[in-house]
Amino acid sequence: MKSICNFILRLIGWKITGLNNLPDKCVICVAPHTSNWDLPLGLIVYKAMGRKASFLIKKEWFFFPMNLLFKLLGGIPVDRSRKSSLTEQMAEIYSKRENFQLAITPEATRKANSEWKKGFYFIAMEADVPIVIAALDYGKKEANFKQIIMPTGDVEGDIAKIKALYKDVVARRPEHFSI
State yes or no: pLDDT of 60 exceeds 80: yes
DSSP-derived pairing of the beta strands 15-18 and 142-149: parallel
User: 12-52, pLDDT tens digit by residue?
Assistant: 999 999 998 999 999 999 999 889 899 899 999 999 999 98
Q: What is the pLDDT of residue 177?
A: 83
State yes or no: pLDDT of 153 exceeds 90: yes
State yes or no: pLDDT of 5 exceeds 80: yes
State yes or no: pLDDT of 137 exceeds 90: yes
Cis peptide before 77 (omega within 30 of 0): no
- Give the residue among 39, 36, 34, 41 at the shortest CA–CA distance from 55: 39
User: 84-132, pLDDT tens digit by residue?
Assistant: 688 998 999 999 999 999 999 998 666 666 788 899 999 999 999 999 9
Q: Which residues contact 158 (CB under 8 A, 6 or more apart)?
A: 121, 149, 151, 152
Q: What is the pLDDT of residue 83?
A: 64
Q: What is the pLDDT of residue 113?
A: 67
Structural domains in the chain? 1-172 (3.40.50)
Query: 48 with 6: CB under 8 angstroms?
Result: yes
Q: What is the pLDDT of residue 30?
A: 95
- Distance of alpha carbon 107 from alpha carbon 9, whole angstroms: 25
- Distance of alpha carbon 76 from alpha carbon 83, whole angstroms: 17
Q: Which residues contact 63 (CB under 8 A, 6 or more apart)?
A: none
- 82 vs 140: which has the higher pLDDT: 140
**Burial class (CB within 10 angstroms; exposed 0-12, middle 13-18, buried 19+) of 68:** exposed
Q: What is the pLDDT of residue 81?
A: 66
